[in-house]
Structure 1
Amino acid sequence: MNGPLAVFGAAPTGERMERIRRSPQFRDGAFQNPIPGSLLTPGVFWRSMRRQLFGREQRVPTGDIPIVPLAAADFIHPPTSGLRVTWLGHSTVLLEIDGYRVLIDPVWGLRASPSQLVGPRRFHPPPLPLGELPRLDAVILTHDHYDHLDMLAVRAIVASPEQQHTQWITALGVGAHLERWKFPASRVTELDWGDSAHIGSLSITAQPARHFSGRAMKRNQTLWASWVIAGPKHRAFHSGDTGFFDGLGAIGERYGPFDLTMIKIGAYDVTWPDIHLDPEGAVRVHSMLRGATLLPLHWGTFNLAFHAWDEPPERLLAAAARANVRTLIPRPGQRVEPATAPQLDTWWRHVSL
């Protein structure tokens, strides 16, 4: 478990693989998207490499990102409104909803990579130390990419005495990685699209997304998903990683309206539009979901594409203004209740001055 290859996880086998083969999403030996999408072709790959090496975008901030340091004591008192969200960077979110705490895509590592020596490096430290996490009811792992599933972080959480009753909820096949990392099987639930897990009166439902998966050479042996988190009084949506497809509207029709949508806005590019939403796409999806407030994810923490690091929120604000969409863009670590959110603070504009 502790060898250098452990970070790659494991491929599904046995009963887990049999269940995967029964999934409507698994065909021709791999999970498939709701509609086909294109990844990098060889020609596009080399053009992308040139842009990576010679592009002039400011992809990394030149100043310090203003985080809000947190400790477990900051979460003793529940949100007055019943719904509070704390963006911890990239796609990592601590959601407090109707008396439950749900952590989504816990990534605390220095790099979004199988190695902590090479790969995209953090722009800012995690605002909440792992050892200061409050007691969690659930952890959702949207899919198995390194910027969403951090082996060292999840192993630290599952071993914490404070988290011995936390349930881990993820998409089909991802449990094979957790099994290799010695997670108790009784605490892991794997869902296909449309399946739900229940913790008391909280339901967590896996929904379609348009993306891909894999921690090693072979892709799409585990499923990826977007997620609906519904309590007795509030509903939230987390996009995971996804490109645009019309089926996202069906999620809004069936499960909306949502008090909060958390949707990715960064790591987009014209060479992979099918698998990563851009800011304008995020606003469009928010409207399709019938969302009240949009909180952007997947930006401001790692350099994963060719755009400037602060381009996503600027494009988001412009698109949201055109569509009359309410947005929250908190600093990493800033706790926000959508019902009583403060006036928008364009904090990123002051980082690189």
Structure 2
Amino acid sequence: MGEAGQRGGRGAFGRRLGGAAGLAALVGLAWVARDVPAALGGRLTGARAERAARSPQFRDGAFRNRGGSRSMAGAPDRNLLRELVFGKQKRRPTTAVPLLRPAAAPATERELNIVWYGHASALIEIEGRRVLIDPVWSERCSPSAAVGPRRLHAPPVGLDELPAVDAVLISHDHYDHLDMATVRELVARQSAPFLVPLGVGAHLQRWGVPEHRIVELDWSQSHRVGGLTVTATAAQHFSGRGLRRDGTLWSSWVVAGAHRRVFYTGDSGYFDGYAEIGDAHGPFDVTLMQIGAYDRAWPSIHMFPEEAVAAHVDLRGGLLVPVHWATFNLALHDWSEPVDRVWAEAKARDVRLAVPRPGERVVVDDPPPVDGWWQSIA
């Protein structure tokens, strides 16, 4: 093919970018487009679909919340798109979010530490074992590397710098909690099993996770790993990648050792299930509570900060560590509003609180005092 034919084959877009740069951009876009269908995940078939259909949470072809709560509480009472574009909220920090790099921690029989990496990603260090929850290391929480909510701060450490973990927990299949690129790299770098709610294993299988490393649990089911008992517990949320909703289950998690206990909400609205979990599995030394991405248009599926404190009390929690804020811009509230509100409510209800910087290790028995570090950059 002659030069003119090559120019014609690239088209106007390629000519605007010019030569090799244009071709490189087209190749990059092709790779992005190729990965989008894979990032949408897998479909439930065979024994996996049959097991999902037998779940008490599965009715009329989909998973359901107890009490039938919906992801949207009726029609929104204002124009969300207009507020998204023209709203006056300060939805990102004014300067860089401070990041820390946790040093290696000694493994002891009664050790309990939390390392928060940003958003909902955290490492639980419990009785000499390590459990990684909802790891998302990609630049965007989206099926596309080109569009979608972008990180407001870098991960404080690389995936190649993580210590060996004993389990990876996934709360549900939304992109800010389950990331294809992160999963694929963890498969290559770690040997731990992935503990997930029913149906989520279909996504992992499509992304190359060996079947023997996939453990799917319904609510109230447990799995033993490395001396820990990990239990999937109820949550009030929804699921979906792409157009299909609620084809996989969502959950909160209990991680229990011989002496220490941790609770993680995943994403959830406030509901009476927290008190039930506290009665069945508490008290908890520490709770990791979702506090961000709330709005009055979807009160049933994300908690407001005050509700997160109430849930912590229901759970009979000791130390509260807020998660699900600071990293991705997923709602219309100010960037720092969730943590300001949770701090005020914790003080009002005499709840112990730790607010780490991303990458900071919280020693649960000796947590750092809350110092308002976010206020100077908000």
Match of 1:140 among 169, 191, 194: 169
* RMSD of Structure 2 on Structure 1 (CA): 1.6
Relative to structure 1, the CA distance from residue 66 to residue 81 in structure 2 (aligned partners, 3 Å threshold; closer, same or farther) is farther
Correspondence for 2:274: 248
Residue identity opposite 2:344 in structure 1 = A
Correspondence for 2:299: 273
SS at match of 1:58: coil
Correspondence for 2:44: 12
Tell me, in whole angstroms, the C-alpha distance in 2 between the residues paired with 1:255 and 1:81.
18
Correspondence for 1:75: 104
Match of 2:193 among 167, 173, 189: 167
SS at match of 1:306: coil
- Contact 1:202/1:232 (8 A) holds in 2: yes
- Contact 2:123/2:133 (8 A) holds in 1: yes
Match of 1:86 among 110, 115, 120: 115
Correspondence for 1:330: 356
- Which shifted more, 40-49 or 174-183? 40-49
Tell me, in whole angstroms, the C-alpha distance in 1 between the residues paired with 2:293 and 2:321.
16
Residue 24 in structure 1 maps to residue 50 in structure 2: no
SS at match of 1:348: helix
TM-score, length-scaled by structure 1? 0.95
Correspondence for 1:58: 90
Mapping 1:122-161, distance limit 5 Å: 122-160=151-189
Match of 1:296 among 304, 313, 322: 322
Q: CA deviation at 1:128?
A: 1.2
Q: CA deviation at 1:45?
A: 8.6
Relative to structure 1, the CA distance from residue 200 to residue 43 in structure 2 (aligned partners, 3 Å threshold; closer, same or farther) is closer
Mapping 1:200-239, distance limit 5 Å: 200-239=226-265
Residue identity opposite 1:6 in structure 2 = A
Match of 1:40 among 72, 92, 95: 72
Correspondence for 1:342: 368
1:180-217 Cα offsets, whole Å, 9 max, x none, are 11111001100000000101320100001000001110
Relative to structure 1, the CA distance from residue 41 to residue 276 in structure 2 (aligned partners, 3 Å threshold; closer, same or farther) is closer
SS at match of 1:75: coil
- Contact 2:129/2:226 (8 A) holds in 1: no
Correspondence for 2:15: none
Relative to structure 1, the CA distance from residue 79 to residue 113 in structure 2 (aligned partners, 3 Å threshold; closer, same or farther) is farther
SS at match of 2:270: coil
1:283-319 Cα offsets, whole Å, 9 max, x none, are 0000000000000010000100010000011100111
Q: CA deviation at 1:40?
A: 3.5
Q: CA deviation at 1:43?
A: 4.2
Correspondence for 2:341: 315
Tell me, in whole angstroms, the C-alpha distance in 2 between the residues paired with 1:345 and 1:78.
28
- Contact 1:102/1:139 (8 A) holds in 2: yes
- Contact 1:81/1:339 (8 A) holds in 2: no
4+ runs of 1 displaced by more than 6 Å? none
- Contact 2:109/2:128 (8 A) holds in 1: no
1:59-110 Cα offsets, whole Å, 9 max, x none, are 011210001034xxx2352268510000000000101001110000000011
- Contact 1:112/1:121 (8 A) holds in 2: yes
Correspondence for 1:260: 286
Q: CA deviation at 1:38?
A: 2.8
Relative to structure 1, the CA distance from residue 281 to residue 76 in structure 2 (aligned partners, 3 Å threshold; closer, same or farther) is closer
SS at match of 2:130: strand
- Contact 1:79/1:337 (8 A) holds in 2: no
Tell me, in whole angstroms, the C-alpha distance in 2 between the residues paired with 1:322 and 1:304.
27
Match of 1:120 among 139, 143, 149: 149
Matched-pair identity in %: 49
1:10-43 Cα offsets, whole Å, 9 max, x none, are 1111100000010000000000001222333784
Matched pairs, number:
346
- Contact 2:309/2:342 (8 A) holds in 1: yes
Tell me, in whole angstroms, the C-alpha distance in 2 between the residues paired with 1:257 and 1:326.
14
Tell me, in whole angstroms, the C-alpha distance in 1 between the residues paired with 2:324 and 2:283.
23
SS at match of 1:227: strand
SS at match of 1:340: coil
- Contact 1:214/1:222 (8 A) holds in 2: yes
Structure 2 gaps, min length 5:
1-30
Residue 185 in structure 1 maps to residue 211 in structure 2: yes
Tell me, in whole angstroms, the C-alpha distance in 2 between the residues paired with 1:345 and 1:46.
36
Tell me, in whole angstroms, the C-alpha distance in 2 between the residues paired with 1:194 and 1:154.
25
TM-score, length-scaled by structure 2? 0.89
